[in-house]
Amino acid sequence: MSARPQLGFIAPALCALLSVCFALITLNQATRYGGTQAQSWLSERLATQPIQGLSDLNITLSDAQLELKLIELQRTGEPQSASYLSPLKAFKVATGAGGTPSLTSTTLSKEWFDAHWSPRAQWTRSGEVWLRRPLTPQERGALGRTGSSQLSLIARLAPPARSPLPWLEVTAGVLIALLGVYGLRRWAYDRLVGGALIGLWGSVCVSWPLLNSVSDLQQVVASWALSLHAPAPTLIPAELLVPLCASLPWLLLAIAHLFTRGRPSPNRVAYTYMAPTLISVSLLVFIPFALGVALAFTRHDHGRFEWVGLEHFYHILGGGLYELSHPLNFYFTLGVTVLWTALNVLLHTSLGLSLALLLNRQGLAFKGLYRALLIIPWAIPNYITALIWKGMFHQQYGLINHSLGLFGLTPVPWMSSFWGSMTANVTTNTWLGFPFMMVVCLGALQSVPRDLYEAADLAGASPWVKFRHITLPLLIPALTPAIILGSVWTFNMFNIIYLVSGGQPNGATDILITEAYRWAFEQDRYGYAAAYSLVIFVILILYARLTQRLSKAAEEVYS
């Protein structure tokens, strides 16, 4: 039994994973139905039904009561004088004789305001949602309320008395699961995979129309979400229920299969040992990652997300902010990033390795002191040291040009040219990064058995031969992770470029991650920034695949 690879659990795990990814890709719909995002749903509901007249102010949903009030904030006096004073007037929609709605106005009391004013989606005791949005100019015109006053629509959404379950989805999911499980006659590999595929694609086929269906379902889901009385967005939107239902029995079966065997199989031991790491990494890394992937297909605008598909990617890959002919376009920045990474990794590794070799020698005095001092660049927070380095590279008042002057060389205008700034960046990052590599190399050097060196000494080998044929081959498996990960980290190193050269001259030394951060933190455009990060991510994946193919040593690491 253990001769054949234990593939039985792959199918349900794959099923679950694909289902989750699939559901997350339609996150833009899902985000509407979570707790505080009921606000966006409601706003959109109101937006898709613009107010065209008084009768529109009476909107009721099936099972949920929606009450609308118009609130007018009026400014008294001219803007230069005592503006910012705004008594509240409320326009209530009353149903007059014959069922025709009419607009009557009252002034709201301060008490009413204090008791009811809940400007954003806020959960009250009875689970009501209160929302506010300003009326558009068109709506204002339709209601005959033109002028400079600030008109807002307050909506109160009360949940239905009885919260309906999404019976459709739950039933569909359970049926699909049973169907898949029924496909099992034996634990035969092919039937298992077949059953899993039926389960997966069945759930996809059933849930896809459900996900994209008409507003009735949206209402049902929204009121279900509202009835949960959760003040925070739920992490598991309703759409996930179908695939999760479909795949949960598979996952449980697989786990049961693993643990009900007699003797612990190698797989079981391995999974037990991997479990804590896998669980925490999946939870804390993959879920935000999946959300990030979903974000990349949306446009973010002040808390509202709008699905835009591949638009961001077209823009980025078409050169980004600059078109392809411009020197500063995306591909130029990509080239600069690759150059930056290559230089840094080369310097870190060679410096770290040389120092580790030197410090590993037998009988070297003050070894401990050297090691402790050389770790200082890593120990001090890099915010201050990066700025010190920047000061050292100042053309007129920096230490480096001053020292060059002492030796009679002409001072270099560091920050005025691309290569000067690049040198400054690389030097700073090398200073900051070599201690880490040194420590890793020191650790890795310990895995080289000393008797190999003794044998080589007896054979009369020179130090270089010893290094080349003993040290290096044995070090590479231990060093490769550090180099690969180090290059990934350097690729995404935002801090140093920002602090030292600031992207000068003129944005030439900016790297890709600087752009992504700029979009995220300067412009609050999280969707675009997420798309940028996804592009960076894909580039790095390709790089990893490339290194796997090119280097045999890396192959060994993976085997």
Partner 1 sequence: MSDDPQRAPWASRWPHLILLPFTALTMIPALWVIKMALKPSQSFDLSLSPWPSEVSFANFQALIGEPFFKEQLFNSLLVSGLTTVVGVTFSCTAAYALSRYRFTGRRAALNAFLITQMFPGTLMMIPLYTLIDALGLLDQVAGLILVYSTTAVPFCVWNLKGYFDTIPREIEESAVMDGAGPFTLFWRIIVPLSRPAIAVTALFSFMTAWNEYILAATFMSDERAYTYPVKLQQYVGEYRAEWGLFAAGALIVSVPVMALFFALQKHLVGGLTAGGVKG
Partner 2 sequence: MIKHRAPLLLSLALCLASLLSACQTSAPDEPRSIHSPALTLWHAYRGDEASALLESLERFRAETGRAVRALQLPHQALNNKLQAAIPRGNGPDLWIGAHDRVGDYAEAGLIEPVGYWMTSSLVDQYFPRTLEALSYQGNLYGLPISFKTLALFYRTDLSPTPPKSLAELRSIALSLRERGVRWGLASPELDSLYFHAPWLHAFGGEATRLHERQSQEALLNSVSLISDLIRDGLIPPELNGALTASLFTSGQLAFVINGPWFKGDLEGTALPWSVAPLPTLSDQRALTPYLGVEGVFISSYTQDPTGAWALAQSITGERAARASLQRGGLVAQRALYQEEAPPALRAWRATFEAQLTNTRPLSNDPRMKRLWTPLKRLLSSVLFFQASPQESLTEALRAIEEQGS
Site residues for partner 1, window 358-387 (CB under 8 A)?
A: 358-365, 368, 370-385, 387
d(CA 253, CA 245): 13
Q: Which of 47, 82, 342, 541 is the binder for partner 1 (CB under 8 A)?
A: 541
C-beta of 101 vs 160, nearer to partner 2: 160
114 in contact with partner 2 (CB under 8 A):
yes
| Neighbouring C-beta atoms of residue 533, cutoff 10 Å | 23
d(CA 394, CA 103): 70
Side chain identity at 364, as an amino acid letter?
A: L
d(CA 418, CA 505): 6
460 in contact with partner 1 (CB under 8 A):
no
Q: Which of 19, 223, 227, 501 is the binder for partner 2 (CB under 8 A)?
A: 227
410 in contact with partner 2 (CB under 8 A):
no
Q: How far is CA 90 from CA 75, 112, 132, 262, in A?
A: 15, 11, 13, 74
Of residues 51 through 90, those in contact with partner 1 by CB under 8 A are none
What residue 262 binds from partner 1, partner 2, none (CB within 5 to 8 A, per partner kind)? none
165 in contact with partner 2 (CB under 8 A):
yes
467 in contact with partner 1 (CB under 8 A):
no
C-beta of 201 vs 543, nearer to partner 1: 543
d(CA 489, CA 101): 64
What residue 253 binds from partner 1, partner 2, none (CB within 5 to 8 A, per partner kind)? partner 2
To 10 degrees, what angle do helices 382-392 and 399-406 make?
40
Closest CA to 131 of 31, 30, 227, 43: 43
What is the nearest approach in angstroms of partner 2 to the Cβ of residue 128? 10
146 in contact with partner 2 (CB under 8 A):
no
C-beta of 47 vs 485, nearer to partner 1: 485
Question: CA angle, 112 as apex, 111 and 116 as ends, to 5°?
Answer: 120
Answer yes or no: are the C-beta atoms of 119 and 142 closer than 8 Å: no
113 in contact with partner 2 (CB under 8 A):
yes
Q: Which of 188, 285, 310, 546 is the binder for partner 1 (CB under 8 A)?
A: 285
d(CA 556, CA 548): 9
C-beta of 155 vs 437, nearer to partner 1: 437
Q: Which of 6, 28, 29, 36 is the binder for partner 2 (CB under 8 A)?
A: 36
450 in contact with partner 2 (CB under 8 A):
no
| Neighbouring C-beta atoms of residue 443, cutoff 10 Å | 13
Q: Which of 80, 325, 462, 559 is the binder for partner 2 (CB under 8 A)?
A: 80
Closest CA to 489 of 556, 558, 536: 536
Of residues 384 through 423, those in contact with partner 1 by CB under 8 A are 384-385, 387-389, 391-392, 394, 397, 399, 402
Q: Which of 143, 444, 496, 500 is the binder for partner 1 (CB under 8 A)?
A: 444
Q: Is 306 helix (H, G, I), strand (E, B) or coil?
A: strand
88 in contact with partner 2 (CB under 8 A):
yes
Positive or negative, the Cα torsion across 493, 302, 307, 199? positive
Joined together, the tokens standing for residue 508 give 């030439």
C-beta of 197 vs 328, nearer to partner 2: 328
Side chain identity at 303, as an amino acid letter?
A: G
Of residues 243 through 282, those in contact with partner 1 by CB under 8 A are 264, 266-267, 269-271, 273-274, 276-278, 280-281
